[in-house]
Amino acid sequence: MTTLSNDPVRALAHTNIALIKYWGKKDEQLIIPYTSSLSLTLDQFYTETSVRFDQSLSADKVEIDGAAVSGKSWQRVHDFLTVVRQLAGINAAAEVISLNHVPIAAGLASSASAFAALAAAASRAAGLQLASKDLSRLARRGSGSACRSIFGGFVEWQRGHDDTDSYASPLQQTGLKDISVIALTVESKPKSISSREGMNRSVTTSPYYPTWVNVAQNDLVDIKLAIAANDFTKFGTISELNAMRMHALTLSAAPDFMYFNGETLTAMNLVKRLRHQGIECYYTIDAGPNVKVICQQANKPQIVDAFTKLLGPKRVTTLKAGPGVQYL
């Protein structure tokens, strides 16, 4: 029988930026995607989480950013903890305390860092010692993109076929180490349509979804070749195009919806103007209005200056590749 520690286990995980997007599940319960995806773990946005299982607790207690959590958010954490309990063969309730250093539900991958940190802390607190692959599989059960935040740098999520073979692993690349990401916080409040709802609507109603599955897989092959060849232009071009192909699914869904707002479009157009001026940069956008600008170190000061003038310094954050899960 598993012996539970009275001391909480603390873990930290970073967000990731999806370069080849994950958009759509073929298995909602296990979170098995229709397509493989590729991301870059980032160094500044992260979640710290502590977990303690305690037989004296009558129910799971969840606190996020200093506030007790109830309703759907509590249920989502509870359901994930139930998966952990089943793996560990325990039945104790848990106390979860989580602190996000990233805006929640605004398209900045807060769920990726949150569930990666929760998977790491909860599994250890439950007495499990999971290999990285199995920790990635577990994190996927909370949030698909969380399986990528287990690792640092470039990470590929292999779509797989079932729970056993759908997991992420670090990309064994030799090129493109000079990558900077400038995060533009256009909006920090939660988005009106969640990623889960948006994916489901796109899968079930967009006439272009079957084409997306094929195109995304080709994009993945091409971007891995660009990384290996140290070809930043090809890398950036594919990243930007793949993002637009994903958002085309939201525009073609029924009813249609859009994650962009006016400032999103202004930022996208500024990226294109900078590129036209010879300052090479590309944008990518996940399920939310916020924009990430991809560039190389030499062009970063000019790009940061341009967006600071547009948005102000508090909404412009410079990032680089970050590490995988850490225990504190």
Q: Are residues 160 and 208 in the same domain?
A: no
Whether 3 maps to a domain, the answer reads no
Peptide bond into 255 cis (omega under 30): yes
The pLDDT-based confidence of 105 (bands split at 50, 70, 90) is very low
Q: What angle do CA 156, 158, 164 make, to 5 degrees?
A: 135
Whether 1 maps to a domain, the answer reads no
Q: Are residues 189 and 140 in the same domain?
A: no
Q: Which of 174, 196, 218 finishes a domain?
A: 174
Whether 34 maps to a domain, the answer reads yes
Q: How far apart are CA 260 and CA 262, in angstroms?
A: 7
Q: Are residues 207 and 67 in the same domain?
A: no
Q: What is the pLDDT of residue 172?
A: 85
Q: Are residues 294 and 254 in the same domain?
A: yes
The pLDDT-based confidence of 109 (bands split at 50, 70, 90) is low
Whether 63 maps to a domain, the answer reads yes
Whether 325 maps to a domain, the answer reads no
Cα distances from 287 to residues 71, 217, 313, in angstroms, run: 23, 19, 23
328 contacts 51 by C-beta, under 8 angstroms: no
The residues with which 54 forms a beta bridge, in sequence order, are: 93
| Residues whose CB is less than 8 angstroms from the CB of residue 86 and which lie 6 or more positions away in sequence, other chains included | none
CATH number, domain of 293, equals 3.30.70.890
Residue 189: pLDDT above 90?
no
Strand 282-284 relative to strand 291-295: parallel, antiparallel, unpaired? antiparallel
Q: How far apart are CA 227 and CA 27, in angstroms?
A: 30
Q: Which of 174, 193, 226 finishes a domain?
A: 174
Q: What is the pLDDT of residue 3?
A: 63
Q: How far apart are CA 157 and CA 31, in angstroms?
A: 12
The pLDDT-based confidence of 127 (bands split at 50, 70, 90) is very high
| pLDDT per residue as tens digits for the range 48-60 | 999 999 999 999 9
Q: What is the pLDDT of residue 104?
A: 57
Whether 136 maps to a domain, the answer reads yes
Q: Are residues 63 and 149 in the same domain?
A: yes
Q: Are residues 136 and 278 in the same domain?
A: no
> What is the Rg, in whole angstroms, of the alpha carbon atoms belonging to the chain?
19
Q: Are residues 270 and 300 in the same domain?
A: yes
Query: 324 burial class (0-12, 13-18, 19+ CB within 10 angstroms)?
Result: buried
Determine the distance from the C-alpha atom of residue 99 to the mean position of all C-alpha atoms in its chain, rounded to a whole number.
16
Whether 2 maps to a domain, the answer reads no
Q: Which of 174, 193, 220 finishes a domain?
A: 174
Q: Are residues 215 and 106 in the same domain?
A: no
Q: What is the pLDDT of residue 217?
A: 97
CATH number, domain of 140, equals 3.30.230.10
Q: Are residues 22 and 39 in the same domain?
A: yes
Of residues 245 and 111, which shows the higher confidence score?
245
| Residues whose CB is less than 8 angstroms from the CB of residue 118 and which lie 6 or more positions away in sequence, other chains included | 11, 49, 51, 77, 80, 96, 98, 139, 142
Residue 106: pLDDT above 50?
no
Phi, psi of 81 (to 5 degrees): -60, -30
End-to-end CA distance of the chain: 26
Q: How many domains does the chain have?
A: 2
Q: Are residues 169 and 194 in the same domain?
A: no
Q: How far apart are CA 202 and CA 251, in angstroms?
A: 9
Q: How far apart are CA 275 and CA 270, in angstroms?
A: 8
| pLDDT per residue as tens digits for the range 216-226 | 999 999 999 99
Residue 181: pLDDT above 90?
yes
Q: What is the pLDDT of residue 108?
A: 61
Q: What is the pLDDT of residue 2?
A: 59
297 contacts 182 by C-beta, under 8 angstroms: no
**Neighbour tally for 20: CB within 10 Å:** 27
Q: Are residues 266 and 153 in the same domain?
A: no
Domain that holds residue 147: 9-174
Q: How far apart are CA 90 and CA 3, in angstroms?
A: 9
Whether 326 maps to a domain, the answer reads no
Least confident of 2-16, 60-74, 153-167, 281-295: 2-16
Q: Are residues 160 and 112 in the same domain?
A: yes
